[in-house]
């Protein structure tokens, strides 16, 4: 069994759905996980916001607009009038449900039900298309087996039991189409795995069915060794270890959602990143193996704030760092990088929502300085600590760039450097020299 996930742009039009069907014409049973058609989830978020604000007329106009896009897709996708009419009924039933919210007061829990319609629609339409082509397939509702527990973590046992039972009940079927992103919570309500969560769905399902491979299909031919928007001639990385991929996914390589690496790593299930535009390209294969020492890729994450706490109290004192970290914990703000000296500590955060409150609390312990508009440049690879020369290579190409923080040795897979965002372009270009 393989699990194949197709993202929003890969199912973003009738034409793209037809291309996905062609890609499925290979042997073996498959679970096919789809996102909502591109743009749909964003539109539904916008519509839900209008419903919250009691602007029901605007919401209803937006829904009518979205509905006509789906009706157009229906016209282009199916050949026979019979299937066109079945598909139209589907579209009408989902939109009638959505429109029902415009006639009532909207509650926070209904938002999840609204968002779920995107994936419910894309999968129902796609599976109906497979039926028209006589492909041996079935639609299996993710809401019957995807579940999160009271801590909002996936309920592995429930998912495994229920997904395998459903597959068992459909033994003769080759292709199981299902929704990414959506699930139920402990109360049985419709919930989701947060934005971009379809990759996570695919990886969780891969673990549940002990898949031979999870494939994530997007528009990009794998994770690249640098940011293609900034550096010319970047290349896809053919092989990455789970740890390397996790570092890269977090640091802005938008192609794979960071949460999806962990389940696959735990169950040791290979994850392959593939492009629907260049299906024959190798892509990136993520496994437990590393493809050798050295630098594999460079990524950058903008929008970082650096916070420095200077305190005489830190000198030869214990418990100081705990007090600092507790403040971040109190404001549910996660810290990315840390560097310390005897009299000061610097940390970075990417969520600065509570920065003013955090600063006030920190000031009880010392003088606080904040630098905004910072970028973490992250160099990912296999650096066995003590490996000679790597730091030297990195800093020699960066000699013109002021560096605010350095983190080395935290793991064998990541060297992070904090710089001002205005220097990012130069840094990425200079670091690219390390690949040649």
Query: Which residues of the shown chain bind ligand ASP in the complex (CB under 6 A)?
Result: 7-8, 35-36, 41, 118, 180-181, 195-198
Identify what 236 binds: Mg ion, ligand ASP, none; CB under 5 to 8 Å per kind. none
Among 2-10, 349-357, 371-379, 426-434, the segment contacting Mg ion (CB under 5 A): 2-10
CB closer to Mg ion, 227 vs 382: 227
d(CA 272, CA 284): 6
Instruction: Output the six-digit token pair for 123.
Output: 């999968």
Answer whether 374's CB lies under 8 Å from 335's CB.
Answer: no
Residue 8 interacts with which of ligand ASP, Mg ion, none, CB < 5 to 8 Å by class? ligand ASP
Residue 181 binding target from Mg ion, ligand ASP, none, CB below 5 to 8 Å by type:
ligand ASP
- Return the residues of window 184-203 that contact Mg ion according to CB under 5 A: 196
Q: Which of 102, 122 has the CB closer to ligand ASP?
A: 122
Of 8 and 263, nearer to ligand ASP (C-beta) is 8
**DSSP single-letter state for residue 423:** G
Residues 146-185: x/- map of binding to Mg ion (CB under 5 A)? ----------------------------------------
| Closer residue to Mg ion (CB): 220 or 379 | 220
Residue closer to ligand ASP (CB basis): 196 or 381: 196
The site partner of 284 among ligand ASP, Mg ion, none (C-beta below 5 to 8 Å per kind) is none
CB of 258 to Mg ion, least distance (A): 11
In angstroms, give the least distance from the CB of 350 to ligand ASP.
19
Q: Which stretch binds Mg ion (CB under 5 A): 5-13, 49-57, 69-77, 347-355?
A: 5-13
- Is there binding between residue 12 and Mg ion (CB under 5 A)? no
Answer with the entry of ligand ASP, Mg ion, none that 416 interacts with (C-beta below 5 to 8 A by kind): none
Instruction: List the single partner that 12 binds among ligand ASP, Mg ion, none, CB under 5 to 8 Å by kind.
Output: none
Could you give the dihedral angle defined by the CA atoms of residues 325, 330, 333 and 335, in that order, rounded to the nearest 10 degrees?
10
Residue number with CB closer to Mg ion (12 or 196): 196
CB atoms within 10 A of CB 163: 23
Query: Residue 283: which of ligand ASP, Mg ion, none does it interact with, CB under 5 to 8 A by kind?
Result: none
Compute the least distance from the CB of residue 85 to ligand ASP, in Å: 27
DSSP three-state, residue 292: coil
Binding residues for Mg ion, rule: CB under 5 A, are 7, 196
């Amino acid at each position: 069994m393989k699990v194949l996930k197709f993202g929003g742009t890969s199912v973003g039009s009738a034409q793209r759905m037809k291309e996905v069907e062609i890609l499925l014409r290979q042997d073996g049973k498959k679970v096919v996980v789809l996102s909502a058609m591109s743009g749909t989830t964003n539109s539904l978020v916008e519509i839900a916001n209008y419903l919250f604000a009691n602007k029901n007329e605007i919401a209803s106009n937006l829904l009518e607009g979205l509905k006509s896009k789906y009706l157009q897709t229906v016209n282009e996708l199916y050949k026979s009038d019979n299937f066109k009419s079945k598909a139209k009924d589907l579209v009408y039933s989902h939109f009638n449900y959505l429109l029902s919210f415009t006639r009532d007061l909207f509650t926070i829990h209904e938002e999840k039900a609204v968002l779920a319609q995107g994936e419910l629609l894309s999968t129902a339409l796609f599976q109906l298309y497979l039926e028209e082509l006589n492909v041996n397939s079935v639609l299996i509702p993710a809401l019957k087996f995807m579940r999160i527990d009271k801590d909002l973590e996936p309920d592995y046992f429930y998912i495994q039991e229920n997904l395998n039972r459903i597959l068992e009940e459909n033994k003769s079927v080759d292709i199981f189409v299902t929704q990414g992103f959506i699930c139920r919570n402990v109360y049985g309500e419709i919930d989701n795995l947060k934005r971009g969560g379809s990759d996570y769905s695919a990886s969780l399902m891969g673990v549940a069915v002990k898949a031979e491979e999870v494939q994530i299909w997007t528009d990009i031919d794998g994770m690249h060794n640098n940011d293609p928007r900034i550096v010319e001639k970047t290349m896809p990385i053919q092989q990455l270890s789970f740890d390397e991929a996790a570092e890269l996914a977090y640091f802005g390589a938008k192609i794979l959602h960071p949460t999806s690496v962990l389940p696959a790593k735990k169950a040791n299930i290979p994850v392959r990143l593939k492009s629907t535009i260049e299906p024959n390209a190798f892509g990136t294969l993520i496994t437990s193996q590393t493809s050798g020492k050295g630098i594999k890729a460079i990524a950058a994450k903008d929008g970082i704030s650096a916070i420095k706490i200077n305190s005489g109290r830190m000198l030869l004192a214990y418990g100081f760092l705990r007090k600092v970290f507790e403040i971040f914990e109190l404001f549910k703000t996660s810290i990315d990088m840390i560097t310390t000296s005897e009299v000061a500590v610097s940390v970075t955060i990417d969520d600065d929502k509570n920065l003013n409150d955090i600063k006030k609390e920190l000031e009880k312990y010392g003088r606080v300085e904040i630098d905004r508009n910072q970028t973490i440049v992250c160099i990912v690879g296999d650096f066995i600590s003590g490996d000679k020369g790597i730091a030297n290579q990195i800093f020699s190409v960066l000699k013109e760039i002021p560096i605010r923080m350095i983190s080395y040795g935290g793991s064998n897979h990541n060297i992070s450097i904090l710089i001002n965002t205005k220097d990012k372009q130069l840094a990425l270009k200079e670091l690219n020299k390390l690949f040649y």
